[in-house]
């Protein structure tokens, strides 16, 4: 009859102290709090961690998966920051220009009561504004196409993340079967964190990117709705009762909300134990040869 696993003791090992025992089963029990995370992770990385010659295949495979997940997260964020935000800005600018030119064309048409306005000058003015409008509409559709491509790329990267997450869980099961539950869930891998804790963090981070990708897809759909000139949350009857100024103000607010939501990424935790930054610091402190293998 096996005894139930002991409750992990509070974290006591300090990276860099050089006092950690050489055996991974003898090191102090893991904790989710690491002293000094983010202060000098490079200096604290190697001393006291499991040596290269003590690593198993499971250590090497886990580190490789964690590095791959880090690369996928970086690629996702670059797509959002550089490609996505640029396309959102281009789209909203083109949409504003479309509204302005629409209004200008309407003003000219209403002021054309005098016969002389039907002359060459009037037709040239109309043609110029129509050409500008066509150019702006082309720009707007191009930006919308860029956004669709950005979302497609985000989904491709997300697929890589979820595959890595599944591989982490498969590795955890293999380690449990080959080395025992203590190795997978109780014994520290390099410093103080267990394989189970590291795999759980990958899972938690991946779920944030799943939600964020779905959110950005919905924002693009909202842009599609806006391009059809149907402000959100209004029935056709309510829309007809609004003045042109009220309709324009509503569209402006919608554009602002879309831009802010895309930039803020509310489903990604920005700080604390669930954030990507915190996990990056943990990996730098807890995983042997993290920086050298990640180059």
User: Would you write out the chain's pLDDT as a tens digit for each of its 295 residues?
Assistant: 444 444 333 333 333 333 333 333 334 444 444 444 444 444 344 567 888 899 999 999 999 999 999 999 999 999 999 889 898 888 888 888 887 777 777 654 444 555 555 566 667 677 777 788 888 888 888 888 999 999 999 999 999 999 999 999 999 999 999 999 999 999 999 999 999 999 999 999 999 999 999 999 988 887 776 555 444 455 455 556 677 777 777 777 777 877 888 889 999 999 999 999 999 999 999 998 898 876 6
242, 250 Cβ separation under 8 angstroms: yes
Distance, CA of 230 to CA of 224 (rounded, Å): 9
Position 10 in a domain: no
Q: How many domains does the chain have?
A: 1
Dihedral sign, CA of 162, 168, 173, 177? Answer: positive
Position 37 in a domain: no
Position 97 in a domain: yes
Distance, CA of 162 to CA of 138 (rounded, Å): 36
Position 77 in a domain: yes
Query: Closest by alpha carbon to 37, among 150, 184, 192, 149?
Result: 192
Position 13 in a domain: no
Position 14 in a domain: no
Per DSSP, the three-state class of 55 is coil
DSSP state of 80: I
Distance, CA of 117 to CA of 132 (rounded, Å): 20
86, 60 Cβ separation under 8 angstroms: no
Position 41 in a domain: no
Position 17 in a domain: no
Distance, CA of 183 to CA of 176 (rounded, Å): 7
| Residue ranges making up the domain that contains 283 | 46-111+120-294
């Amino acid at each position: 009859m096996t005894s139930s696993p002991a409750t992990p003791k509070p974290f006591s090992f300090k990276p860099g102290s050089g006092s950690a025992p050489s055996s991974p089963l003898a090191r102090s029990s893991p904790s989710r709090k690491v002293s000094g995370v983010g202060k000098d992770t490079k200096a604290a990385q190697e001393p006291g961690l499991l040596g290269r010659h003590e690593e198993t295949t499971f250590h090497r495979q886990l580190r490789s998966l964690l590095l791959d997940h880090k690369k996928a997260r970086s690629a996702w964020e670059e797509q959002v920051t550089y490609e996505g935000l640029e396309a959102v800005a281009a789209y909203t600018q083109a949409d504003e220009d479309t509204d302005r030119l629409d209004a200008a064309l309407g003003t000219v048409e209403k002021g054309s009561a005098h016969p002389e306005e039907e002359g060459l000058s009037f037709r040239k003015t109309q043609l110029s504004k129509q050409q500008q409008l066509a150019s702006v509409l082309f720009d707007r559709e191009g930006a919308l196409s860029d956004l669709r491509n950005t979302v497609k790329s985000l989904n491709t990267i997300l697929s890589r993340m979820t595959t890595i997450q599944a591989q982490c869980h498969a590795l955890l099961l293999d380690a449990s079967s080959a080395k025992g539950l203590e190795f997978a869930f109780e014994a520290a891998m390099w410093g103080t964190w267990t394989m189970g804790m590291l795999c759980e963090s990958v899972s938690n981070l991946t779920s944030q990117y799943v939600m964020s990708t779905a959110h950005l897809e919905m924002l693009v759909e909202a842009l599609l709705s806006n391009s059809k000139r149907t402000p959100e949350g209004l029935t056709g009857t309510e829309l007809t009762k609004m003045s042109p100024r009220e309709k324009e103000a509503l569209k402006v607010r919608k554009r602002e909300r879309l831009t802010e939501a895309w930039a803020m990424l509310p489903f990604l935790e920005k700080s604390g134990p669930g954030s990507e930054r915190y996990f990056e610091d943990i990996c730098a402190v807890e995983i042997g040869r993290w920086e050298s293998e990640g180059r």
